Structures are given as C-alpha cells and as structure tokens.
C-alpha cells in the first residue's frame, strides 16, 4: 500500500422529490428537494499526494470534460488556494456514474477530492470545508455528508431528513443521452413553481409500509420532469415500461436524464432490469443499475 496515496468510492444520488418553490430575480431557483445518496453506481477517486508537479488529473472518460473544467480538478485547486498548500497531487478518476444524468457524479467527485485532501492535511474544519464545497456547486456539500437530507434555498441549505432504515430497492436507468441542467430549468413552466405540499419522513415511512395506498406522484414529484417527459418521449416510454413491471413509483432524478424506480424487493428490480435488457429499449448506450451491479 502506497502511504502517499488514498482513494475512495464516490457514489451518486437521486432526488426523491424536487419541488421548485420560486424563481429568483438573479435567475436561480428556490428549491425544496430531498437528496438520497446512492452507494452504486459510484466513481472511483484516488490521489497520490507526492507524484505530480502541481495538480494533474487522469480520467478514463472524455465525457467528463477537459482537466481544468472537471469539478474534481477544480476542487483540488480551490483546496490548495484556501489552505496555501503547494500541491504535488496526481488525481485519478474512474467514471462510472453517467455524465449530465441527474445523479450528481461531478459534485460527488468534487466532494471526494475535498474529503481525501482534508483527511490528509487536516487544514479545514467541517464548516470551512462545507463552505469551500459550496463555491463549487450547491449540492457539493451534500456529498460531504452522504446521508438523506432536505435541501432548500438554491439547494445549499440542509436539514436532516431521516428515511426509514429499510428502504425500497432502487433501480437507476440512464437512457443513453445527457440533459443540460440549464436547459431543464429554462424549460420549467411557471405553473409548476410554488411551495406545494410539505412532505415529511413520516410520509415515506407510511408509503413504504403500504405502497399500494401511497400517492407516488406527490412523494416523487419533480417539477423539472414535466418538460423532460414532453421533450423526450423515450423517457415517457421507459417510465411506462418500468411501471408496468411492478415499480411502486418512477421518476426522473434532478434535471435528468436518468430515471429511478422504487421496488419492493431486489428480485423485482432485477426482473425489471433483465426485461429492459431484452426489450427494444436495450441500446449500446443504455445503462441500468440495481442490486449493486450494472446490468
């Protein structure tokens, strides 16, 4: 084991619910969203702290962007700037989370870099590290915490949102194309903006206990999804296919394009994943994750 190196898995997320409560004059949107971390799929992040001149990033995926636009690289740059450390950091990034898919892969990578660096150098308090993370993106601080949270404001104010210990099986389907978050917010129609119903952990507890009686349209509401269902008919067809095979609820995560579905058990999710692979939706670009593996 190399004592000058460290690594970790950077899992993604789904937004169990995403309500846009207001549009601000500065162009940002106020949200009430529930983040749920995923252990899988996950990116693999490693740093050798003594093997580069400055900061260098090696990534297995060209879709992750060039070095200086990559959030993992920018996180390392910001940490060096804030702490005054002269970096000799070789960052390796193995991308497994689809890019621009609503699963938070880039933000998770950035948080992983900050975690590895601060574990090594112990220069910042938890509060200071979260403040630094926020400069990289509103949801980056969530990935430092990696537990279910409600986020408000522009997604940067967090409060605890304890979900039941026994969660449904989650399946994530990436349809093979990215969606721009900027486009998704620009396409949001005014009629969907508003405070709406306040959902609590107790609502999910009741729904998981009696899924047949749950209002999944409300529990999994995503105001950004309305424009995506309209713009991309494939997403609607995927939703119908998955719902017909036993999913409790199906929704787009974040600004898309990934869809997530909740199932009562791993067997149901696996059966649906297998059916998807045998269906007309199976393309070389489709990616399906459930049960700790990619199908």
Q: List active site positions.
A: 13, 139
Measured in degrees and rounded to the nearest 5, phi and psi for residue 109 equal -60, -45
188 contact partners, CB below 8 Å, separation of at least 6: 20, 29, 223, 224, 226, 227
- The helix, strand and coil proportions of the chain, stated in percent and rounded to the nearest 5, come to 35, 30, 35
CA distances from residue 205 to 97, 150, 151, 164, 202 in whole angstroms, order as listed: 28, 16, 19, 6, 5
Q: Say if CB 250 and CB 219 are below 8 A apart.
A: no
Q: Is 40 helix (H, G, I), strand (E, B) or coil?
A: strand
Closest among 176, 170, 55 to 116, alpha carbons compared: 55
Answer positive or negative: Cα dihedral of 140, 145, 151, 152: negative
Label residues 155-178 b or e (16+ Cβ within 10 Å = b). Answer: bbebeebeeeeeebbbbbbbbeeb
Measured in degrees and rounded to the nearest 5, phi and psi for residue 267 equal -60, -40
- Looking only at the bridges linking them, the beta strands covering 149-152 and 249-252 are unpaired
CA distances from residue 281 to 40, 70, 175, 180, 263 in whole angstroms, order as listed: 22, 31, 8, 22, 20
Q: Count of residues for the chain?
A: 295
């Amino acid at each position: 084991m190399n004592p000058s190196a460290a690594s970790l898995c950077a899992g993604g997320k789904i937004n169990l619910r995403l309500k846009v409560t207001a549009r601000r004059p500065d162009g940002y949107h106020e949200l009430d969203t529930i983040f749920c971390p995923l252990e899988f799929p996950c990116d693999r992040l490693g740093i050798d702290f003594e093997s580069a001149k400055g900061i260098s990033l090696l990534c297995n995926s060209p879709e992750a962007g060039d070095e200086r636009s990559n959030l993992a690289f920018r996180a390392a740059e910001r940490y060096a700037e804030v702490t005054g450390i002269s970096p000799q950091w070789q960052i390796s990034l193995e991308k497994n989370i689809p890019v621009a898919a609503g699963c938070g892969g880039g933000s998770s990578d950035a948080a992983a870099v900050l975690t590895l660096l601060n574990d090594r150098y112990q220069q910042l308090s938890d509060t200071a590290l979260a403040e630094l993370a926020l400069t990289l993106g509103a949801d980056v601080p969530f990935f430092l915490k990696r537990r279910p949270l409600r986020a408000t404001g522009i997604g940067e104010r967090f409060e605890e949102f304890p979900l039941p210990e026994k969660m449904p099986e989650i399946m994530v389907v990436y349809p093979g194309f990215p969606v721009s978050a900027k486009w998704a917010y620009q396409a949001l129609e005014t009629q969907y903006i508003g405070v709406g119903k306040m959902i609590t952990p107790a609502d999910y507890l009741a729904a998981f206990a009696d899924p047949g009686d749950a209002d999944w349209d409300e529990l999994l509401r995503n105001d950004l999804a309305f424009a995506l269902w309209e713009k991309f008919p494939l997403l609607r067809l995927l939703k119908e296919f998955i719902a017909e095979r036993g999913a409790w609820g199906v929704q787009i995560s974040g600004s898309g394009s990934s869809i997530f579905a909740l199932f009562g058990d791993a067997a149901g999710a696996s059966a649906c994943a297998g059916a998807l692979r045998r269906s007309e939706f199976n393309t070389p670009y489709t990616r399906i994750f459930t049960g700790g593996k990619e199908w």
